[in-house]
Amino acid sequence: DWTTGNVIDEQVAAIREQVGTKRAICGLSGGVDSAVAAALVQKAIGSQLTCVYVDHGLMRKDETEQVEKDFVAATGVQLKVVDAQERFLAALAGVSDPEEKRKIIGREFIRVFEQAQAEIVAEAPGDQPVEFLVQGTLYPDVVESGGGTGTANIKSHHNVGGLPEDLEFKLIEPLRKLFKDEVRMVGAELGLPDEIVQRQPFPGPGLGIRIVGEVTKERLDLLREADAIAREELTAAGLDRDIWQCPVVLLADVRSVGVQGDGRTYGHPIVLRPVSSEDAMTADWTRMPYDVLAKISTRITNEVAEVNRVVLDVTSKPPGTIEWE
């Protein structure tokens, strides 16, 4: 019988057996999946686990602070924070192709984990080696990256199809057979607070795959502002639980003519992509209240320089995917 209790017991036993007395690191992204994976592995091997939070500069506003506070408060886990903003931006410079971006981000994550691995060993030499990397990979991530039987590669999720070929870590992926709702149940059972377990999904590659065009610091800052406004208004309207997630996308390679004050503008559009879904494998666009859309649109065009248009994505999945890239 499938119960969260059974899943936890089975995984804890399997992880203990796999890791033995060695050590593991777990990449935390601020999302539900990596948090639950980390909590599960911590339950299995305790202080043999170190969590690594990579600040790649592709995060939304206030996300880094939230991981540093909420997750550590909830679990007491050992956390290492790595500032890798320069490195990710440099690796992404000049790149517009979505799959190329995904592979670069996946590879850079691993390079940073390798560096963290070396540092952890240097800090506690003579201790057991750090051999394992914990990832919060879910069943849909595997399927969409072409890992499922008979499925085509739709997009390379950063922690599956985006991994480099020379990966030396052994992977621990305790959620690989689960869907999001099951992961949330496991997280709740492990004692994680609602603020973590009920968070809307956010992809590991972050805002890097929400800028259509090249990823630059300026564009990230702009998108971060627009995204923060959308999230603020959705929360204020009480819609967080009705909406599965709402990607906010910057069409950086598109410009349109507008008018503001008494002058012409030539700016970029922002796309709102609110979706309703059970498991992210399929989705529908959310019929959300017009007055909330109007408020978001007015605020973004007033408050975010260079954005003079807000558009609503009314495509289901399929044929669209949830993210634009």
Binding positions for ligand XMP, rule: CB under 6 A: 102, 144, 155, 157-158, 201, 203-205, 245, 280, 317, 321-323
Cβ of residue 252: shortest distance to ligand XMP, in angstroms? 18
Cβ of residue 14: shortest distance to ligand XMP, in angstroms? 22
Considering only CA atoms, which of 183, 157, 156, 159 is closest in space to residue 169?
159
Cβ of residue 136: shortest distance to ligand XMP, in angstroms? 7
Cβ of residue 171: shortest distance to ligand XMP, in angstroms? 15
Catalogue the E-assigned strands of 57-127. Answer: 79-83
Considering only CA atoms, which of 227, 228, 211 is closest in space to residue 219?
211
Residue 18 or 315 with smaller CB distance to ligand XMP: 315
Token pair recorded at residue 138: 């879910």
The answer to the question of whether 30 is labelled as a binding residue is yes
Token pair recorded at residue 22: 């060695």
The answer to the question of whether 181 is labelled as a binding residue is no
The answer to the question of whether 34 is labelled as a binding residue is yes
The span from the CA of 70 to the CA of 30, in Å, is 9
The answer to the question of whether 29 is labelled as a binding residue is yes
The span from the CA of 146 to the CA of 164, in Å, is 16
Cβ of residue 188: shortest distance to ligand XMP, in angstroms? 19
Token pair recorded at residue 6: 């059974």
Residue 186 or 322 with smaller CB distance to ligand XMP: 322
Residue 32 or 307 with smaller CB distance to ligand XMP: 32
CB 211 within 8 A of CB 226: no
The span from the CA of 164 to the CA of 30, in Å, is 22
The answer to the question of whether 136 is labelled as a binding residue is no
Residue 114 or 323 with smaller CB distance to ligand XMP: 323
Residue 57 or 204 with smaller CB distance to ligand XMP: 204
The span from the CA of 160 to the CA of 156, in Å, is 7
The span from the CA of 227 to the CA of 223, in Å, is 6
Annotated binding site for ATP: 29-35
Annotated binding site: 29-35
